[in-house]
Structure 1
Amino acid sequence: MPPTNPGLEPLTRHACEPCRYHNIPPTWYRDAYLMIDIDVIIYQEAGLGLTVEGRDEEQPPRYLLWSFMSLMLNFSTHNFFNGQESTAAEFYSREAEQTVMEESSEGVPAIELVQALCLIALKHLKSTLKALRLLSYECLSTPRDHAQTRSYWLVHALECLFVPIKTTTSDFQVPDYPDLTLIPPLPDSSGTEEAAQDTVHVTGSSTTEIDRVGIIAHSLRIIDIWGELTSYLHTLRQGKTEKPWSPDSIHMRINLELIDFEAKSPKKLFLCNAYLSRRTRDEVSRYPEFWNRFMVGQLMWHATHAILNHPFIHLSLLASQGSIPPSCFFMQQRIDMAIYHSNWTFRLLEMFDNLMDIVDPMIANAMAGTATVSWLFQFSKDQEIAQKAQNNLNKCEEFLCQVAQTWPHISQKIDALRKLQALARENYRQCSSQGTTISFQSAWFWDLLSPRPSFGANEARAPGLRGETKSEISLKNHFVLPLHDGLGSEPGNPLVGLAVDPFLVMPGELELFNIDSLSHDFFQSGLWDPI
């Protein structure tokens, strides 16, 4: 760019700004020619075949000059603009893009049009790179803008929903959760002192900062953990396995994050302090900003636990790692947790569904994945476990049909679930008193747990993904039946191992666990055999 021209006086501020910006300094025509010619030479050397002739005689189109000015005002200036470079750049950018769009719609090829498009693209690239550069620096003295923080977590939540791969790089500093806090509303129908001690009405005059809870940070963190689980499931479907009880395993890391999430949750966000049974749909609808996030926190915490401890996942892991000795105790813990959290997931879904309209596709994905846990346990010989599992499946299908009215892609999950239920009716005939060998299409499980990206209805499945063959899984009754005689367990207790403290078992009682039979039967060669 040329130095400031002292002979060119700036226009008065009283002149119409758009009019004065049309009067581009004469010397800038020459510089525009030179810059555009340089760009053309570069593009020509790159093989684009652009040539320009007669630049000294021709006057470039206005839109080409405006494109050039909108870019160069980011790097240089002239006293013509009287300190209003940003306003002028915005004007030139707007005028150039509008005119170029109109010219492009005519369909007439022109070299100047291509040049203008390239200049506009460079201007946008410059703006994008500047924004990325600002994000890469940590401003210790200046707090991060609240809108910027909310934007980051909004995009991150969308990635957790739609992208099964973690995209955050190690050199990018993740911003803190938004600090917006809300006050848990007191039930309209509650007059108890207990409720008054735990909650304060949103409109109450006695509101203090201690009454507030970070409900947004609470819900965002569980969404973040859910994103890690979906990424984990994606790697499992690709065939990348691990020893799940290893301290440095992904399974253990997610499990610890769930425990830490529960431990750090404010007391006011405990389910027992929500008093859902005392609330009405109208009451909940008055505070959607609180109850929607509370619902997400409760449902996603239990659903993430249920899927993380899925018998299908851990049987697949154990069977695929021949060098890793299987752990019966670890498997028993997974069964206990899967039964417990899957039942709580659908119990809470029913409670919230009676109080609000839930059309969140992330919740639908979580419920569909949890339904595969219940699908396995419907084959239990314990009638209470089996009946609860079947009820859970019915609730899930009804809920997915409800969400599919807003999000049509959820209908694919409904189809997969119905296929599994049709297959379940065939499996009932194969159940025996010693155990249940369940035959199923593992691809249908994966379609509910970790669906592949869909690009077309008739497209073949992506290579490298598991679950393309018919499989069998041996779910022994040792793991799904409660222990009765001598241990004080009541029939139908869904928590198999929680009634027994392994550190308090006397040596003479060890035969009750039938360890030899358990190990031999459960980990036989036919555990996970493709057919």
Structure 2
Amino acid sequence: MNAVKPDPPPLEVLQSLVKLYTDRIAGQPLPLFDTEALPNSIHRWSKGLFNSFLALTVRYSDHVFFGDASAAAAAAAERYKKSASEILFAQLADSTADLEVFQGFCLLCLSEIYGESYPLVLTRKKLMDMDADGNMRKAWIAVGVATRLAISSGIMGTKIDGVLVNSELSRCCWSLFILDRIHGSSFLTLPAIFNEDSFPEMPPSPARPDVSNQNAAIESGEPQITLEKDLGINSYALQLLSIWGRLMSYLKNIRQGNLEDAWAANSTYQQIKSEMSRVETILPEVHRFRNSRFHELTLSELESHRAYWASWIFTQLVYHCIHCTLNHPFLHIARIPGQRRLRSPSFLQHATDQAVLHSAWVVLILGVCEQSGFKIFDPFIGHLASMIATAQFFLQFSKDETLAARASKDFRMLQGFVEKMSGTHAHLEHVASKLSRLAQFATGSTETNSFLPPKIETALLWNLLDYAVSSSTVVDGGDPSDNVEVAVNTQFLLPINAETPMPVSAQPHQQEGPRPDFWDQTTFEFDMADFANVSDMSGWTVPNESWITGHL
């Protein structure tokens, strides 16, 4: 088959595509190119790299050069993608791969993910004849081949003859790492990169904008931000992505029936928690939510430093999503037939509190983005939102009416966020469809006025927790007997309240007014697990409900 040779766009069009790439794709936190040098270097690219760049960017262009309709731009992008694929794979077969080939495969992987996917309605026969995961399987191939070749060729080494490798190679290696962690850490496959210790030095991160108001901090008596060793926002995003890969492996083992006592000291759960705590201790104060002043900035202030804020949002959401997923009600709290076993009430209380807290922070950050008009282009964030939505779906069945109402509202907000993102990322249409299917279980329970908690398909939940599978056209099959009951208890330890007998000497002094509610404390800041600024935790209200097996 002869390679398709689409006409290259003129300089004016190419410059618009470079800007489009810089605004929509770079720094999410993919550091593949130095965006400042990109306009001048793109003219020297090989044909394979050049066409892979066009395949990724042209589909979003509204320039008349590609036609008068979006369909014409998409068709042109497909032609560029086909040409790039044939050139790049031919170079691999001829053992002529160089840095630009690896860069081209990074862009080819993204072009598969960002590209069109198959229609939502497919017959089983048609599904068997085509890629059931939309373009995701092609993305796996692109990043998998490039990553394994990069490892075998030895370009991942930190030094060559005692000299640090060049910046372009460093950017390419870490871009391969990001794609491998996000798109290769699926339940259906294994990541190619297990240890990044031998990688080149990380590329520089975008500079943090100066948004702190030190004078205001001094006047208010708040402690000033101390100077710490700051590796850059992308460094912390990459460290979290490394933990993300381990989290996906943990979920895969659970799905395969390899259960463990999560509260055990040597459990995978505790190991991941320990890694997260390490990241929390090294994250500089300047990047924390409170000190970033993200929620106070205008759209123009955010857009003027989009490279930083896109990576900052990515870091925050991955962080909170790891914590929430690790403590997901589906994994620890929901009743699953055939898996009844003794579980620690204090651990279940901790897991529930963590799921509630971290899922709320994802909703908050996405809500700030929506209110400010700061648009998110990264489709992986759409997947993170869908994962958090599954946690909120469970929490809406809590016996705590306030928590249940808030979770129901947040689920709808996250569902709407994914649906909106699916307008520009077709593969997210299938994710949105599965969330709608999930929502129908709650609707059906309400309409029938059933006092029994509904059961939902376990396979549907696993599909939504796996990025690659979540965008497939169907739900992986599962045993209906494994369907999970969504009755969720959120109180496993008996709280101290007015109904708890207490010695006279231990009774608290009478309070002036009602006890504060955790969620109504507008001054409360989580700040990546930093509780140093919380003056008093003793007054937080805790939902008063019982656990079916009693209290400690």
Name the TM-score, length of structure 1 as normaliser. Answer: 0.60
Shift of 1:448: 1.4
SS of structure 2 residue aligned to 1:354: helix
Map of 1:135 onto structure 2: 155
Greater CA drift, 260-269 or 143-152 = 143-152
* Number of positions where the alignment pairs a residue of Structure 1 with one of Structure 2: 377
Map of 1:254 onto structure 2: 272
Alignment of 1:94-105 (within 5 A): none
Q: Deviations over 1:194-227 (max 9, x none)?
A: 3999689xxxxxxxx9796511102222222223
Which of 194, 200, 208 is residue 217 of structure 2 equivalent to?
194
Shift of 1:454: 7.8
Q: For the pair shown, which has the larger CA radius of gyration, 1 or 2? A: 1
Letter of the structure 2 residue corresponding to residue 344 of structure 1: W
Map of 2:343 onto structure 1: 326
SS of structure 2 residue aligned to 1:175: coil
- The answer to whether the 8 A contact 2:334-2:486 is kept is no
Map of 1:445 onto structure 2: 461
1:158 correspondence with 2:179: yes
Alignment of 1:486-505 (within 5 A): 490=515, 493=518
Which of 424, 449, 469 is residue 442 of structure 2 equivalent to?
424
Letter of the structure 2 residue corresponding to residue 441 of structure 1: E
Counterparts of 1:309 and 1:120 in 2: how far apart (Å)?
Answer: 42
Cα 1:384–1:365 change in 2 (3 A) is: same
Q: Deviations over 1:434-485 (max 9, x none)?
A: xx73422222222211256489747x836xx677853324423634997642
Letter of the structure 1 residue corresponding to residue 424 of structure 2: T
1:303 correspondence with 2:321: yes
Cα 1:183–1:313 change in 2 (3 A) is: same
Q: Deviations over 1:383-410 (max 9, x none)?
A: 3212211221121022112211121111
1:471 correspondence with 2:500: no
Map of 2:401 onto structure 1: 383
- The answer to whether the 8 A contact 1:375-1:390 is kept is yes
- The answer to whether the 8 A contact 2:335-2:485 is kept is no
Cα 1:221–1:358 change in 2 (3 A) is: same
Cα 1:193–1:412 change in 2 (3 A) is: same
- The answer to whether the 8 A contact 2:158-2:198 is kept is no
Shift of 1:350: 0.5
SS of structure 1 residue aligned to 2:154: helix
- The answer to whether the 8 A contact 1:404-1:411 is kept is yes
Counterparts of 2:431 and 2:251 in 1: how far apart (Å)?
Answer: 17
Shift of 1:306: 0.9
Counterparts of 2:472 and 2:489 in 1: how far apart (Å)?
Answer: 39
Shift of 1:242: 2.1
Map of 1:363 onto structure 2: 381
Cα 1:320–1:363 change in 2 (3 A) is: farther
Greater CA drift, 399-408 or 423-432 = 423-432
- The answer to whether the 8 A contact 2:349-2:490 is kept is no
SS of structure 2 residue aligned to 1:340: helix
Cα 1:347–1:468 change in 2 (3 A) is: farther
Counterparts of 1:390 and 1:311 in 2: how far apart (Å)?
Answer: 15
Map of 2:169 onto structure 1: 148
Structure 1 stretches of 5 or more lacking a match? 1-116, 201-208, 499-503, 506-511, 523-531
Counterparts of 2:288 and 2:254 in 1: how far apart (Å)?
Answer: 33
Shift of 1:229: 1.9
Counterparts of 2:379 and 2:91 in 1: how far apart (Å)?
Answer: 40
Letter of the structure 1 residue corresponding to residue 292 of structure 2: A
- The answer to whether the 8 A contact 2:385-2:414 is kept is yes
1:520 correspondence with 2:549: yes
Which of 238, 242, 245 is residue 227 of structure 1 equivalent to?
245
Counterparts of 1:451 and 1:468 in 2: how far apart (Å)?
Answer: 25
1:349 correspondence with 2:372: no
Cα 1:299–1:466 change in 2 (3 A) is: farther
Map of 1:393 onto structure 2: 411
- The answer to whether the 8 A contact 1:199-1:211 is kept is no
Cα 1:119–1:347 change in 2 (3 A) is: closer
- The answer to whether the 8 A contact 2:422-2:428 is kept is yes
Cα 1:276–1:173 change in 2 (3 A) is: closer
Counterparts of 1:299 and 1:420 in 2: how far apart (Å)?
Answer: 22
Structure 2 stretches of 5 or more lacking a match? 1-88, 100-145, 501-507, 509-513, 521-528, 530-536
- The answer to whether the 8 A contact 2:181-2:244 is kept is yes
Letter of the structure 2 residue corresponding to residue 447 of structure 1: N
Map of 2:50 onto structure 1: none
Which of 328, 336, 340 is residue 357 of structure 2 equivalent to?
340
Q: Deviations over 1:142-161 (max 9, x none)?
A: 22332222212211211222
Which of 162, 168, 178 is residue 202 of structure 2 equivalent to?
178
Letter of the structure 2 residue corresponding to residue 293 of structure 1: S
Q: Deviations over 1:62-88 (max 9, x none)?
A: xxxxxxxxxxxxxxxxxxxxxxxxxxx
Shift of 1:328: 1.3
- The answer to whether the 8 A contact 1:423-1:440 is kept is yes
Counterparts of 2:490 and 2:150 in 1: how far apart (Å)?
Answer: 61
Shift of 1:492: 5.5
SS of structure 1 residue aligned to 2:453: strand
Letter of the structure 2 residue corresponding to residue 405 of structure 1: G
Alignment of 1:270-309 (within 5 A): 270-309=288-327
Counterparts of 1:318 and 1:469 in 2: how far apart (Å)?
Answer: 7
Shift of 1:295: 0.8
Which of 268, 283, 289 is residue 265 of structure 1 equivalent to?
283
Letter of the structure 1 residue corresponding to residue 217 of structure 2: E
Cα 1:493–1:320 change in 2 (3 A) is: farther
Alignment of 1:44-59 (within 5 A): none
Letter of the structure 1 residue corresponding to residue 549 of structure 2: H
Counterparts of 1:425 and 1:480 in 2: how far apart (Å)?
Answer: 30
Cα 1:124–1:371 change in 2 (3 A) is: same
Map of 1:218 onto structure 2: 236
Shift of 1:366: 1.0
SS of structure 2 residue aligned to 1:359: coil
Map of 2:425 onto structure 1: 407
